[in-house]
Amino acid sequence: MRNRLEALCRDGIAAVAEAQNADALQEVEVHLLGRNGALTAQLKGLGKLSAEERPAAGKLANEVKQALQKALEDRRAAIDKAELEEDLAGNGIDPTLPGSPMPVGGVHPVMAVARELEDLFSSMGYVVWDGPEIETEAHNFDDLNIPGDHPARESHDTIWMEDTPEDGRLCLRTHTSPVQVRALQKFGAPLRVVAPGRVFRQEAQDATHEHTFHQMEGLVVDKGIGVPHMLHAMNSMLEGIFGRKLETRLRPGFFPFVEPGFELDARCPFCKSGCKVCKGSTWIELMPGGLVHPNVLRAAGVDPEVYSGFAFGLGLSRMAMLRYGIHDIRWMMSGDLRFLEQFPA
Ligand code: FA5
């Protein structure tokens, strides 16, 4: 028995040393130590030995098993190391190579400008607030001092939806101004709020007009608010976005929900003597605004004898056009990757 065990150990260690890869080594292991392997066969013979011979043979069988296990373990480590070295030398995979690039999206130019402005206004103490895109006729028009027969409704080319028993006629909001009333009803006065969002109008498209575009409403209501406060807010916004002071001018403008109403123009940031963007005038029409009409304050439950305020409605999509030199607003909603990929994350 002793001789057979010693031979098994010697031949087994030699077979382990000859195995060239993990599969071959696995086969050798099964042959030596498996349930029907060579060592198991020897162990079965132990029972036939005399009581005197059995302890020494059992001890030797154990030592042989340990020696074979050690040889297998060493050989497995050596094979793994050799395979890794082979891979690193260029045979098979090279784990040091960079992986396949993952496609990463960018921030849409309108969203980039919106986020910058949200940060800017937050730093000046404004709340960033959101309103619904499907709006009631009352919020979109009536509460803003635009009654049913008012000609200002025509200019908005409203996309109407069905009537509802609870809220009356619904529409896709034509501007972000209804958020003025919603925010005042929710928070009351005094209040500072900006509300960026999508608006919808049924109108012919061209380089500066879309049916779906973004605006950002601004509203400040407090005691003693006047036109200089509005001008300061508008100019701070332009300076924040363009990184420098722009020359601005105010023209009268009519909106039923402000009195007086204005249009703010800025000196074209792209030229000195006229270009395509400013249509040769050197002025760019940027945003309307004005002092909140007392009827709007009343509709929102705020006493116009105590409080006054200003509001403005920035065309965010047009601001993004100016900011990034985009010559046609229709690119914004095109979903065209050739356009979008120019604005990496
Ligand atoms: C309004 O929508 C008013 N609610 C703005 C306002 C708010 C006035 C608060 C006073 C106080 P207007 O229709 O002019 O006004 O639109 C505002 C801005 O949205 C425009 O200056 C322009 O920059 C942008 N805009 C208007 N129509 C379009 C369009 N079809 N496509 C892209 N931008 C547009």
Token pair of 161, please?
């939806």
Question: Which residues in the chain show pLDDT less than 50?
Answer: none
Question: What was the pLDDT predicted at 152?
Answer: 67
Token pair of 278, please?
């400013």
Task: Please tell me the residue having the least CA distance from ligand 1 atom 9.
Answer: 312
Task: Please tell me the residue having the least CA distance from ligand 1 atom 23.
Answer: 315
Of 143, 173, 175, 214, best ligand 1 pocket probe by most atoms within 8 Å of the beta carbon: 175
Nearest residue to 262 via CA among 238, 228, 236: 228
Ligand 1 centroid–CA 330 distance in Å is 16
Question: What was the pLDDT predicted at 50?
Answer: 84
Fold of 109-340: BirA Bifunctional Protein; domain 2 (3.30.930)
Instruction: Give the integer Cα–Cα distance in Å for 277 and 141.
Output: 32
Instruction: Give the integer Cα–Cα distance in Å for 130 and 197.
Output: 7
Question: What was the pLDDT predicted at 155?
Answer: 64
Ligand 1 centroid–CA 246 distance in Å is 20
Task: Please tell me the residue having the least CA distance from ligand 1 atom 5.
Answer: 313
Question: What was the pLDDT predicted at 54?
Answer: 84
| Domain spans in the chain, listed from the N-terminal domain onward | 2-90, 109-340
Ligand 1 centroid–CA 311 distance in Å is 12
Ligand 1 binding pocket, CB closer than 6 Å: 175, 177, 201, 203, 209-210, 213, 215, 255, 258, 287-290, 311-313, 315, 317-318, 329
Ligand 1 centroid–CA 276 distance in Å is 20
Question: What was the pLDDT predicted at 175?
Answer: 96
Ligand 1 centroid–CA 312 distance in Å is 9
Distance of alpha carbon 90 from its chain centroid, rounded? 39
Which ligand 1 atom lies nearest to the CA of residue 312? 9
Rounded to two decimals, the pTM is: 0.72
Which ligand 1 atom lies nearest to the CA of residue 316? 23
Question: What was the pLDDT predicted at 163?
Answer: 87
